[in-house]
Structure 1
Amino acid sequence: MGTATVAPAVGRETGRIRRNWRRLMAAMASHAVLITLSVVFLLPFVWMVTTSLKTVDVLNAFPIVWFPEKITFSNYLDGLQVFPFARYFLNTMLICALSMLGAVLSSSFIAYGLACIEWPGRNVVFVALLGTMMIPFYVTMVPLFSLFREMGWTNTYLPLIVPHFFGGPFFVFLLRQFFLGIPRDLLDAARVDGAGELRIYARIVLPLAKPALAAVALFQFLAAWGDLLGPLIYLSDSDMYTLSLGLTYYSTQYSTQFGPLMAASTVILIPIIVLFFFAQRTFIQGITLTGVKG
């Protein structure tokens, strides 16, 4: 009896150990793949930073020197003096801040109407809204430019800011998915207590949707910060240029000066890295929670 009782227990323990071992091996394999891909994606950034610290003789050395023995910061002084960096930085921050505010307010307002208010045809409107995501920007680029030119908005920041106050399909989709996860009983209880839709939207829905709103804000900030085509189309006054546009003109005029060019690119990229470093937890949480309910 003792032997018959011990044998199944030993078999179960052996099976458990094998399963744990397989899980460990699978986790190690997946982490190895992720680490390898991370290194591959980081190589261009590492090359850009190290190049910005190299002297001229090391820049042209062959074979390639990844990490120079002598570090110089003169490339940063040269790269930031070629164009008015401070002015372009303020121009870019203005566009980013206002477009981010418009995207968060308008997209959340539209998403609330599509997710939390019952009205006929809202699903049809939502599908039509998603359909606009399949229209490339290059198709509407010329009509939009003609429209803004007739309105007298060219060579101003209005074409880069005002459209974001009318909602973005992708942002509306993200926020709608998040709003669908809010308990309906909570909203109905607020309506029973006499709260209007605007008050429910401002006092209940928006405070609960902070992670999703942060994700939308970060997405829009990144898009506006790196936008080149928009400023290139609408801005003609050099005093109104953004960082991406200034860097483009600098690269075309000084394409052989790799050190200053990489230094300016590094400085432009630093705010994005810092922002994502501090907001990554909220960003990931917002992206995760928007897919809870479809």
Structure 2
Amino acid sequence: MTSPRRIATTLGIYVVLAVAAVVTLGPFLLSVMTAFKSPSQFAQEHSLALPRPFGLENFGTLLTGPAQFGSAILVTVAVTSVIVIFQLGFSVLAAYAFARIDFAGRRVLFWVYLAGLMVPNIVLVIPLYLMMVELGLRNTFWGLVLPFMFGSPYAIFLLREYFRGIPRDLVDAARIDGAGHWRILSSIIVPLSKPIIATLTLITIVSQWNSFLWPLVITSGSEWSVITVATASLQSQYNGNWTLVMAATTLALVPLVVLFLAFQKQVVRSITISGFK
């Protein structure tokens, strides 16, 4: 029979978890509810009142009106896709070199490169901006993506540690069969590293999808505006129409939720302790 103390402890844990869930998910639910309200309902009724009726006018205004939010979505998708493909590709190559290729100064070079994690991103904004201006890439697509295409210290560190956990016997057996570095990487390392690669893909997508400071600095106007910058500009364009702003945040949130649901199994697998047979 369960003791009263154990029941009270379990109940307390569930209460804390329920409060944490409400605090975490509450702002997102409020944003979605507001997105389906009309401006008059939002102004006259309580913010927690359900939309009556659920309207799509705000989304129509965003996608077909002068806000050009549809263009911002396409730019964000293109920027995120290019950065994810190139950043993960270069990170995998660099991590394999640091983990499996012996060359002079490998350890020193790795730790020097890893020191980039200690540098705040805000410190790099002005130097990167001046470089892009000198290259004539201000307010261009390549100005948005170029600084983030060639790998990241965080991704390289995680991939290197994961690659080092793969048994050396598998790699040595492949070398005996005549496999080179490219064959080992594509046939052994990458297939066994799908969970961590999927996790890094999700992290990179989220970080680039939500990127605000660099797109704000390097672009002007609406031609290369991304979702975050377009959402911020809605407040001034529409005189604080919060139903429209919440509709924009809802549109920006939906792809991330879908990605998380698609990748959640891989994310869980990447952070659990597993062995190789």
TM-score, scaled to structure 2:
0.88
Alignment partner of 1:37 is 2:29: no
CA RMSD of aligned residues (A): 2.4
In the alignment, structure 1 segments of 5+ residues that lack a partner are 1-13
**SS state of the match for residue 238, structure 1?**
coil
Task: Check conservation: 2:234, 2:240, Cα contact below 8 A.
Answer: no
Pairing of 1:34-113 with structure 2 (within 5 A): 34-61=17-44, 63-80=46-63, 81-113=65-97
Q: Which residue of 2 aligns with 1:208?
A: 192
| Residue in structure 1 matching 2:134, options 118, 131, 150 | 150
The whole-number CA distance in structure 2 between the counterparts of 1:118 and 1:195 is 17
Task: Check conservation: 1:160, 1:230, Cα contact below 8 A.
Answer: yes
Alignment partner of 1:167 is 2:151: yes
Alignment partner of 1:191 is 2:175: yes
1:248 is matched by which residue type in structure 2? A
TM-score, scaled to structure 1:
0.84
Deviates more, 1:246-255 or 1:24-33: 24-33
Q: Which residue of 2 aligns with 1:245?
A: 229
Q: Which residue of 2 aligns with 1:3?
A: none
The whole-number CA distance in structure 2 between the counterparts of 1:162 and 1:199 is 29
Task: Check conservation: 1:47, 1:66, Cα contact below 8 A.
Answer: no
The whole-number CA distance in structure 2 between the counterparts of 1:273 and 1:115 is 33
Change beyond 3 A, Cα 1:274–1:257: same
The whole-number CA distance in structure 2 between the counterparts of 1:70 and 1:148 is 48
**SS state of the match for residue 240, structure 1?**
coil
What does the per-residue CA deviation read over 1:248-274, in whole Å, with 9 as the maximum and x for residues that have no partner?
Answer: 211222242111221122112111111
The whole-number CA distance in structure 1 between the counterparts of 2:111 and 2:13 is 37
> Could you tell me how far 1:241 is from its partner in structure 2?
1.5
The whole-number CA distance in structure 2 between the counterparts of 1:213 and 1:265 is 27
What does the per-residue CA deviation read over 1:90-111, in whole Å, with 9 as the maximum and x for residues that have no partner?
Answer: 1111111110001111111111
The whole-number CA distance in structure 1 between the counterparts of 2:146 and 2:42 is 44
The whole-number CA distance in structure 2 between the counterparts of 1:149 and 1:194 is 48
Task: Check conservation: 2:62, 2:68, Cα contact below 8 A.
Answer: no
> Could you tell me how far 1:29 is from its partner in structure 2?
4.3
Number of corresponding residues: 273
In the alignment, structure 2 segments of 5+ residues that lack a partner are none
Task: Check conservation: 2:139, 2:220, Cα contact below 8 A.
Answer: yes
The whole-number CA distance in structure 1 between the counterparts of 2:268 and 2:143 is 30
Percent identity, aligned pairs only, is 33
Task: Check conservation: 2:87, 2:149, Cα contact below 8 A.
Answer: yes
